[in-house]
């Protein structure tokens, strides 16, 4: 039993109960008045503003469901369409808000939250709060209550012995609260998700929108990769091969006039050809590493860990082979994360964990560096999100200031061949 988690859950239950009464109940009453004023025109002015407040309250409850209850809830609202200015635009905005199913789900939550949400929050608080009253009664509070016939639960408190029984009952309530309050909060979060999560139609629409965005990002990434390859070939191997061709022409001339100088140029040309070949190998390795094609993702990630300047510990379950594009996306994602750790994290150790569960490849990279990594800050993590988005994958980063940083990628995929 985690005592601290139980106490925190009880306090959070109080916060959720207060929000149920102070926000949800008030907003519901105001929204009903505003909707009732629509036929006379006043509602056209008040409904859009009130709907924004209702959505702000719903967004707050979604965040609290994730942070306090451990239940993640996506935002279901449709994109805001362009509207005209003035009264016509106000009518268009009001009509659009009322046609959005999420608006009515938010209003339904405003009915349920002051009842069921409040009850769950008070239950989480009450088990611990009311339980504490039992020992307080045994400490002497029972005396002034003796003449009023006070009952603590099912115990009539009228003497020291009954007060001690109340203390025992209070201790049981406290233990139950500390043990089950986190579970009660999770039930609260699940109830919130029933009303404030996107419905099935909106989930499909959001999935299509994400796929369209990821497809556009994938095209941009592919074009940038092709430009990089072209630039590397032009500035690297191509330039060296041109130099080799020029040197061979010079050697051909010197063979008749200065054989000794020709021999010297042959040696230099051989070195240039070796360097050009190595650059081509590096370029091919950047496109699709041979170890990935030959040995699979697990061994390829171990090879990355061996080359990392930061000490790596690798935990990889036997997975087998997956589709080549998925393996490449996971490989280059891990490579980018290790590069970020080496460049920015000031870490001493990195842990890599990789496993395949329930049709999902999960790779977690954790370092003991300074933290503060943010995909929204325009770092290489944003590029990772675009790369993974092309496969309907996600990147989750937890990086508080001071560290540690944990980056997890998830890629939906199937194992094509099992490990032997």
> Is the distance from CB of 317 to CB of 419 less than 8 angstroms?
no
Fold exhibited by the domain 291-412: Heat Shock Protein 90 (3.30.565)
Whole-number Å distance between alpha carbons of 68 and 17: 13
* Closest C-alpha to 221, from 332, 373, 375, 342: 332
Alpha helices in 308-410 (DSSP H): 324-340, 380-389
Dump pLDDT digits (tens) for 53-90: 999 999 999 999 999 998 989 889 888 777 777 777 77
pLDDT band at 113 (very low <50, low <70, confident <90, very high): very high
Tell if the pTM clears 0.85, that is, is over it: no
Bridge partners, 404 (sequence order): none
Whole-number Å distance between alpha carbons of 82 and 243: 59
> Is the distance from CB of 262 to CB of 249 less than 8 angstroms?
no
pLDDT of residue 146: 74
Query: How large is the average pLDDT for residues 382-398?
Result: 79
Q: Decide: residue 68, CB within 10 A, 0-12 exposed, 13-18 middle, 19+ buried.
A: buried
Q: What are all long-range contacts of 179-182, with beta carbons under 8 Å and residues at least 24 apart? A: 179/1, 179/6, 180/127, 181/5, 181/6, 181/9, 181/10, 181/13, 181/124, 181/127, 181/128, 182/2, 182/5, 182/6, 182/9
**% residues pLDDT > 70 (the chain):** 87
% helix, strand, coil for the chain, step of 5: 70, 10, 20
Dump pLDDT digits (tens) for 260-279: 777 777 777 777 777 667 66
Q: Which of 107-111, 200-204, 248-252 has the lowest mean pLDDT?
A: 248-252
Residue 238 has pLDDT above 70, yes or no: no
Task: Give the pairing type, strands 311-316 and 349-357.
Answer: parallel
Q: Please report, for the chain, the start and end positions of each structural domain, with discontinuous segments joined by +.
A: 3-196, 202-287, 291-412
What value does the mean pLDDT of the chain take?
Answer: 83
Dump pLDDT digits (tens) for 305-315: 888 888 999 99
Residue 257 has pLDDT above 90, yes or no: no
């Amino acid at each position: 039993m985690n005592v601290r988690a139980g106490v925190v859950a009880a306090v959070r239950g109080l916060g959720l109960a207060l929000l149920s009464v102070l926000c949800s109940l008030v907003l519901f009453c105001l929204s009903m008045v505003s909707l009732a004023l629509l036929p006379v025109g006043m509602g056209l002015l008040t409904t859009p503003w009130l709907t924004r407040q209702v959505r702000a309250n719903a967004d707050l409850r979604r965040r609290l469901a994730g942070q306090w209850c451990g239940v993640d809830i996506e935002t279901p609202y449709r994109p805001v369409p362009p509207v005209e200015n003035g009264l016509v635009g106000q009518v268009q905005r009001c009509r659009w808000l009322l046609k959005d199913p999420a608006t009515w789900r938010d209003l339904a939550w405003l009915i349920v939250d002051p009842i069921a949400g409040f009850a769950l929050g008070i239950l989480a608080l009450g088990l611990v709060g009311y339980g504490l009253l039992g020992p307080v009664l045994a400490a002497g509070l029972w005396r002034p209550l003796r003449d009023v016939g006070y009952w603590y639960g099912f115990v009539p408190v009228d003497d020291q012995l009954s007060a001690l029984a109340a203390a025992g009952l209070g201790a049981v309530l406290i233990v139950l609260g500390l043990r089950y309050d986190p579970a009660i909060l999770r039930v609260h979060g699940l109830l919130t998700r029933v009303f404030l999560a996107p419905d099935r139609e909106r989930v499909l629409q959001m999935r299509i929108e994400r796929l369209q965005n990821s497809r556009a990002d994938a095209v941009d990434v592919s074009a940038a990769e092709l430009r990089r390859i072209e630039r590397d070939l032009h500035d690297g191997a191509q330039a060296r091969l041109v130099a080799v061709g020029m040197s061979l022409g010079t050697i051909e001339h010197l063979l008749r006039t200065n054989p000794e100088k020709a021999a010297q140029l042959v040696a230099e040309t051989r070195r240039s050809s070796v360097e050009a070949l190595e650059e081509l190998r590096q370029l091919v390795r950047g496109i699709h590493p041979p170890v990935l094609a030959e040995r699979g993702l697990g061994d390829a990630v171990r090879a990355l860990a061996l080359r990392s300047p930061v000490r790596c510990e690798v935990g990889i379950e036997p997975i087998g082979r997956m589709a080549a594009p998925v393996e490449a996306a996971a490989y280059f994602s891990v490579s980018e994360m290790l590069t970020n750790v080496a460049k920015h994290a000031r870490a001493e150790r990195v842990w890599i964990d990789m496993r395949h569960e329930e049709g999902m490849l999960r790779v977690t990279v954790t370092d003991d560096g300074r933290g503060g990594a943010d995909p929204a800050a325009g770092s290489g993590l944003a590029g990772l999100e675009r790369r993974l988005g092309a496969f309907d994958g996600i990147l989750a980063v937890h990086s508080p200031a001071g560290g540690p940083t944990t980056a997890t990628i998830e890629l939906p995929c199937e194992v094509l061949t099992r490990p032997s």
